[in-house]
Amino acid sequence: MSKRFNEVWTFCTSLCKHVPEVECGWRHRGFNWSRRHIAPSESGYDNQDSMTKYPTMPMTPSPLVLFHNKTFRSLWSASLVSNLGNLVEGMGAAWLMMSIARSQEMVALVQASTTLPVMIFSLAAGALADNFDRRRLMLAVQLLMLCVSAALAFLVYAGAVTPWMLLGLTFLVGCGWALHDPLWHASMGDIVPREDLQSAAAFNSMSYNLMRSIGPAIGGIIVATAGAAFAFLFNVFCYFAMIVALWRWKTERAQGLLTREPFSSAMAAGFRYVLLSPNLLKVMCRSLVFGLTGVVIVTLLPLLARDQVDGTATTYGIMLGFFGLGAICGAFLIGPVREVLSNEWVIRSAFFLLAISCFFLAWSEHVWLSCLLLMPAGVAWVQALSLFKVTVQLSAPWWVVGRALSLYQMATFGGMAAGSWIWGELAGTEGVSGALLVASLALIFGGLIGIVLRHPGFETLKLDPTNKFSEPVLQLDLGPRTGPISATVDYSIDQEDVAEFLNVMALRRESRLRNGARQWALLRDLEEPHIWTESYFLPTWVEYVRHNQRQTHADAEIVARLEALHRDDCPPKTRRKIERQTCLRRR
């Protein structure tokens, strides 16, 4: 069976070589980023005087190339089944809530109960993703969600579930996904090369939306014929696909040189890195607004299907399926759209397209028309969210990518949780049509925010680690927790180079602080003004070593520019000192 599958797979992929290339990446106008034109030795910058450029993001000749990777193929296939079960369960939960609680606010809270945990626990999940074995953590989380879904199926079958009990159990499932998602997306860097991350992100998005096109319809059929309990039981069996795939995935255990970063320190480091990264802050602000406004369709769709078009659970599933079908089309359009639009206009267009869909959905009373209007909304949804996610992945180095992704998810799903409650309340007072009309205005405003907070282009630096730092030989016996450590670096700079030195040192300051340094300062000698001293502190010796091991190739290029301005024959002198307190002993 395995041999036959491989023969069929080889035949199918060989056909892809004879069809026009479907590029799943981005191409900036004026630049050809095809992989065959990128030499491994090329610099990441246009010239030595510029620290940023449009990045040389290589593109795969065909998206299907990723499926030659056995691990990616196995996990992606398992994610299809897992997403199908999750969507069937979500559909069952939403329809069950409408059956046991007539309040529109309670129906909207079902969506909020699955998105709110992401805002609460996502950062913790990111810290775990950057410090522990991701495969084992995902296995544990999948088993946890399996148990919760099994309990939910039993309670519903026994007729013992109440509205608040349903919200509580769906909240626990949401907690599981809040822990799983940062682990899953951070693991892509362990499975595929960095240049293939954009294709992997697109396929992961396609996996969810492919199932969204059929999952709700299947869920509607299951709920209508067998009841909500069997929708939850269906999801229980779907968990096994991901559990088996994760079990079979054999990862190489990283041989870390340092002890794991303390949990609280790891979360603080993630916050610090994002706060000192303007591009990441812009992405998260825009994703927060997008989640807050764009979630209106997903939140109010059960009410739209029941009240506005007089549908059933099957109708709701079909309508949600058309939304997912639009999202699949959006995934395939990622490459062509980004060939002609900048990143900012992709995001802005997504806001405006959702606004148009909401406006006409507010007036539609026909199922077929509503289904057609949901397709462009799905296109906009996947275009924006995939671009947000890939920008975060390409703007964060290896040691903090899990936490950066988790903070992005906190912003996005936090906005969705708040939006679910807001639009549910508004639908309860103004009706579904009124809420959709207000949402269309809010979405237009969200698109116009880009005038002030433009979505960054792919100006990614070379964020792979240099792995060149060697721990110095010390004359004092220091333990890992000994500190605080003071470090200084002395430079000799000619007067005519001072302006350039200060510009480069501003970049150095940002790099130091993002990597964990504290109390950074630049000092100039009063008696020998050509001597400049960079000074910073770290709380312990192990933090000093960790700070230097985080150096990326982009950081190394800043160091190279500083050394080029240094006028002495010897390299800049680095001094490391430990702070000691003194006290006067009195007899």
Question: What Cα–Cα distance (Å) separates residue 283 from each residue in 215, 288, 441, 454, 537?
Answer: 30, 9, 21, 9, 30
**Residue 483 φ/ψ, nearest 5 degrees:** 175, -170
Strand residue runs (E) in 431-505: 485-492
- Fold of domain 485-578: Alpha-Beta Plaits (3.30.70)
pLDDT value of residue 403: 86
Predicted pLDDT of residue 311: 80
Check: CB of residue 458 under 8 Å from CB of residue 28: yes
Sheet containing 573-578: order of strands: 518-524, 531-538, 485-492, 573-578
Tell me the domain boundaries of the chain. 69-250+261-451, 485-578
SS3 125: helix
**pTM recorded for the entire structure:** 0.72
pLDDT of the residue at 503: 94
At 240, list the tokens. Answer: 């096994």
Task: Give 46-54's long-range contacts (Cβ < 8 A, gap of 24+).
Answer: 48/561, 51/461, 51/507, 51/554, 51/557, 51/558, 52/459, 52/461, 53/459, 54/28, 54/457, 54/458, 54/459
Tokens of 308: 């506005």
Residue 374 pLDDT: 92
pLDDT tens digits in sequence order for the chain, 587 residues long: 444 444 434 434 443 443 333 333 333 333 333 333 333 333 333 333 333 333 444 444 455 677 778 888 888 889 889 988 888 888 788 878 878 876 767 777 787 787 778 777 877 888 888 878 888 889 999 999 999 999 999 998 888 888 888 888 889 988 888 888 888 887 887 787 766 776 777 777 777 767 766 777 787 788 888 888 888 899 999 999 999 999 988 776 555 555 677 777 888 888 888 888 888 899 999 999 999 999 998 888 888 888 888 887 778 778 877 887 888 788 778 778 877 888 899 999 999 999 999 999 998 888 889 889 999 998 898 889 888 988 888 888 878 888 888 889 888 888 888 888 899 889 888 888 999 999 999 999 999 999 998 888 765 557 777 778 888 888 888 877 887 899 999 999 999 999 999 999 999 999 899 888 999 999 999 999 999 999 999 998 888 988 888 888 888 889 999 999 998 888 899 999 988 877 766 65
Within 13 Å of residue 110, how many CA atoms lie on the same side as its CB?
A: 28
* Residues 187 and 69 sit within 8 Å (Cβ to Cβ): no
pLDDT of the residue at 37? 35
Q: How far apart are CA 517 and CA 444, in angstroms?
A: 41
Which of left, alpha, beta for 42 (phi over 0: left; psi -120 to 50: alpha)?
beta
How confident is the model at residue 7, as a pLDDT?
Answer: 46
The pLDDT of residue 19: 36
Predicted pLDDT at 62: 55
As a whole number of angstroms, the distance between CA 8 and CA 5 comes to 5
CATH fold of 69-250+261-451, please?
Growth Hormone; Chain: A; (1.20.1250)
Calpha distance 470→174 (Å, rounded): 43
* Dist CA 387 CA 299 (whole Å): 22
- Cβ atoms of 371 and 322 closer than 8 Å: yes
